[in-house]
Amino acid sequence: MVKKGQNIINWPMDKFRDVYMIDYVPRDSIVDARVCLKLLMGKNITGEYRVLHFKHLSKKNLINEWHKRTLTDRSYKRTLGRLGSKEICKILDGWSSPFNLYNHNCRHFSNYFIKNIEKIDKQGYV
């Protein structure tokens, strides 16, 4: 089992192909004391999406691959372009960018994304 943010991954299989992971995080480093202070005070900071595509992924290399990719590829539209789903881009574009620790964070984004992906899944777009 791997826990990353609020996502818990517990897969019985050893390897996966064509896995897309979507994450919403503060753009600025939370290691910076000023950024942490802003977050704790309830101020908005700039947020960003990270969409990563893994052709082959195993539980063994998940964390290492995640960190390598998040440091190099920050364009979610380019990554999703390979998936070919404009509907997912529309969902991401519909989420306003400011990140707030208390009322507009990764958990809120996850709820928003799941609700909207279920809608388009029912319509047959995904």
Q: How far is CA 27 from CA 39, 57, 59, 75, 92, in A?
A: 12, 25, 26, 13, 15
pTM: 0.72
Q: State the average pLDDT for the chain.
A: 77
Output 98 or 124, whichever has higher pLDDT. Answer: 98
Mean pLDDT of 42-68: 79
The 3-class secondary structure across the chain, one letter per residue, is: CEEECCEEECCCCCEEEEEEEEEEEECCCCCCHHHHHHHHCCCCEEEEEEEEEEEEEECCCHHHHHHHHHHHCCCHHHHHHHHCCHHHHHHHHCCCCEEECCCECHHHHHHHHHHHHHHHHHHCCC
Q: pLDDT by residue (tens digit) across 39-54? A: 999 999 999 888 877 7
Distance of CA 19 to the CA centre of its chain: 12
Q: Taking every pair of C-alpha atoms in the chain, what is the biggest distance, in angstroms?
A: 45
Output 74 or 60, whichever has higher pLDDT. Answer: 60
Query: In this predicted structure, what is the pLDDT of residue 123?
Result: 73
Mean pLDDT of 61-87: 68
Residue 58 has pLDDT above 70, yes or no: yes
